[in-house]
Amino acid sequence: MPVATQTVLRLDRASKTYGEGESAVEAVRDVSLDLEAGKFIFLMGPSGSGKTTLLMLMGCLLRPTSGSVYVFNEEVSSLDEARLPRVRRDRIGFIFQGFNLFPALTALENVEVTLNLKGYRGGEAREEARKLLTHVGLERRMDHLPEDLSGGEKQRVAVARALAGNPSIILADEPTGMLDSRTGRLITEILRDLAHEEGRLVFMVSHDPRITALADQILQIEDGHLRD
């Protein structure tokens, strides 16, 4: 049930500079954003423009050099390092371009181990993992290792894994980058449904102009700046 206009993620003049002095790189500059639940948002921009860095700031993997990041009104940018894993665990699901599945684990175990991390135990985790994999249309491939799955199937497992623990925010960095266009579109549609039908904020980096039509909003970034 989509919750109307609830801000789940907010950036207030967030900047990230890598390194210091001569070699400093300002990867993200002064980005302010207000992102609501139920929205499917694209981030586009040239290579090196700061897309991944921005995603890491939003996902509490990095803290901004200046400015603030709020997740559900909690200012996470001021939390100390040891408390960030909890925010990621409870609020955020990540999807990566390279899938990043655990190669020694079956599709089912990939999701299950993530659920274990989020506090689900034994049979409960297994049941929930089955449900999530069925949800992304993988009920027939659950017991396969990643190496035996196609790219599209792998990314479905990754989506199911990102959904483990029912996070409100899904962050995806070029999730279709390694898929053919038809499969890419299918995955994008799944992600869109996670936003529109399940009320999550889905924020995705993409280069692909063919799927932009599916987005509610497209943000452009260049040299670390958001363009209007």
Partner 1 sequence: MVSIARKNLFHDKVRFAVALAGIAFAVVLITVQLGVYLAFRANVSVLIDHTNADIWVTARGLENFDFGKPFSEKKLYEVEEVPGVAWAEKYLLAFGYWKTPAGSQETVQMVGFDPETMVGAPWNIVKGNPQDVKYFNSVFYDEAETNRLGNLPVGAETEINSHRVRVTGIIRGARSFIQSPYIFTSFKNALNLSFVNKGNTVYVLVKVAPGYSAQEVKRRIQDTVKDVDVYTSPEFSKKTEDYWMVNTGTGVALLAVALMGLLIGTVIVANTIYTSTTEHLKEFGTLKAIGASNWDLYRIIIEQALINSVIGYAVGMLVSYGAIQAFKRGHLQILLPVPVLVGIFTLTVMMCLWSSVLSIYKVTRIDPALVFKS
Binding site for ligand ATP (CB under 6 A): 18-19, 25, 27, 45, 47-53
Chain-centroid distance of CA 132 in Å reads: 16
In the complex, minimum distance from the CB of residue 59 to ligand ATP, in angstroms, rounded to a whole number:
12
List the single partner that 48 binds among Mg ion, partner 1, ligand ATP, none, CB under 5 to 8 Å by kind: ligand ATP
Find which of Mg ion, partner 1, ligand ATP, none residue 49 binds, CB within 5 to 8 Å per kind. ligand ATP
3-state secondary structure of 97: coil
Measured from the CB of residue 59, what is the shortest distance to partner 1 in angstroms?
7
Minimum CB–partner distance for residue 206 and ligand ATP (Å): 10
Considering beta carbons, is residue 15 or 52 the nearer one to Mg ion? Answer: 52
Residue closest to Mg ion (Cβ): 52
Interatomic CA distance for residues 190 and 78, integer angstroms: 34
Burial (CB count <10 Å: 0-12, 13-18, 19+), residue 37: buried
Least distance (Å) between residue 102 CB and partner 1 = 6
Chosen from Mg ion, partner 1, ligand ATP, none, partner binding at 89 (C-beta under 5 to 8 Å by type)? partner 1
Determine the Cα–Cα distance for residues 113 and 122; give it in Å rounded to an integer: 10
Binder of residue 25, out of Mg ion, partner 1, ligand ATP, none (CB less than 5 to 8 A by kind) = ligand ATP
DSSP letter for each residue of 149-211: S-HHHHHHHHHHHHHTT--SEEEEESTTTTS-HHHHHHHHHHHHHHHHTT--EEEEE---GGG
Helix H or strand E encompassing 29 = strand 25-36
The binding track of 80-119 with respect to partner 1, each residue x by CB under 8 A or -, is --x--xx-xxx-x-x-xxx-x-xxxx---x--xxx-xxx-
Q: Name beta bridge partners: 14.
A: 31
Which residue reads 């599709």 in tokens?
A: 107
Q: How far is the CB of 33 from ligand ATP (least distance, A)?
A: 15
* DSSP symbol at 50: S
* Helical residues (DSSP H) of the chain, grouped into ranges: 51-58, 84-91, 107-117, 122-135, 151-163, 181-196
Q: Report 17-76 residues binding Mg ion (CB under 5 A).
A: 52
Contact residues for Mg ion (CB under 5 A)? Answer: 52
Contact residues for partner 1 (CB under 8 A)? Answer: 52, 55-56, 59, 61-62, 82, 85-86, 88-90, 92, 94, 96-98, 100, 102-105, 109, 112-114, 116-118, 121-122, 125, 161, 164-165, 173-174, 177-178
